[in-house]
């Protein structure tokens, strides 16, 4: 059912895009700075055993000709972890096809993380987030005021956490701290809608 809805939505948006006519007024404003945003939903695809989860994000910023720069926030799921990334994004339209464009985008920032797996009862955890990075290649279908973006690429997420025994028998000796740094790499595929 979900696949049929997604396919129907894509056909509807493609038909809407094909029926739209070019606007000479908007082409005169292409050299000006203008506000642009996008909302994305997709999947993080991992190696076997690591699982595939949802990725959601929104990016808001400024567009000038082929260049876009903005700030974004999101939600990503990983096996045993959920992250809330805050990032800067920059993209460049490297090839134009009428009003549409192929683009390359880079996102980089920091994610706040929380663990979804059960903690061991005898350990106290201290969870930090970590840096996140994504490199995407995509295609943007542009209408008068909206655009549909289909993109795919590589996403990297680092999570740092530490744990100590929750009980420590020796009052004059500090509890041992074990620090863990975990790197998660995923293939991301997403579709988005935005304001040009």
Q: What single-letter DSSP state applies at residue 67?
A: E
Task: State yes or no: pLDDT of 8 exceeds 50.
Answer: no
Cβ proximity of 38 and 147 under 8 Å: yes
Show the domains of the chain with their CATH numbers.
Answer: 31-119+130-158+183-195 (2.40.160.20)
User: Chain-centre distance of CA 1, in angstroms?
Assistant: 25
pTM of the model: 0.75
Q: What is the pLDDT of residues 39-98, one digit of tens each?
A: 999 999 987 656 678 999 999 999 999 999 999 999 999 888 899 999 999 999 999 988
State whether residue 79 is helix, strand or coil.
coil
Query: 16-25 b/e with 16+ CB inside 10 Å = b?
Result: ebeeeeeeee
**Distance in angstroms (rounded) separating the CA atoms of residues 125 and 68:** 40
What band does 1 get if pLDDT is binned at 50, 70 and 90? very low
Retrieve residue 158's tokens. 């680092």
State what percent of residues in the chain have pLDDT above 70: 76
180-to-127, 130, 160, 162 alpha-carbon distances in Å: 10, 12, 6, 6
Retrieve residue 151's tokens. 């993109």
Query: 47-66 b/e with 16+ CB inside 10 Å = b?
Result: eeeeebbebebbbbbebeee
Q: What is the pLDDT of residues 163-181, one digit of tens each?
A: 777 665 555 666 777 788 8
pLDDT of residue 21: 35
Give the angle 29-31-35 at the CA atoms, nearest 5°.
Answer: 70
């Amino acid at each position: 059912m979900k696949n049929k809805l997604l396919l129907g939505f894509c056909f509807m948006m493609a038909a809407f895009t094909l029926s739209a006519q070019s606007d000479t007024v908007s082409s005169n404003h292409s050299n000006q700075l203008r506000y642009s945003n996008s909302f994305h939903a997709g999947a993080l695809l991992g190696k076997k055993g690591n699982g595939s989860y949802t990725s959601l994000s929104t990016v808001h910023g400024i567009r000038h000709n082929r260049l876009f720069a903005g700030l974004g926030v999101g939600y990503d799921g990983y096996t045993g972890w959920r992250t809330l990334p805050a990032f800067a994004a920059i993209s460049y339209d490297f090839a134009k096809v009428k009003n549409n464009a192929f683009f390359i985008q880079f996102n980089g920032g920091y994610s706040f993380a929380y663990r979804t797996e059960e903690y061991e009862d005898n350990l106290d955890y201290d969870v930090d987030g970590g840096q996140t990075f994504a490199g995407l290649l995509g295609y943007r279908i542009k209408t008068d005021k909206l655009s549909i973006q289909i993109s795919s690429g590589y996403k990297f997420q680092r999570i740092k956490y530490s744990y100590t025994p929750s009980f420590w028998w020796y009052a004059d000796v500090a509890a041992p701290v074990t620090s863990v740094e975990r790197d998660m790499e995923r293939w991301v595929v997403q579709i988005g809608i935005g304001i040009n």
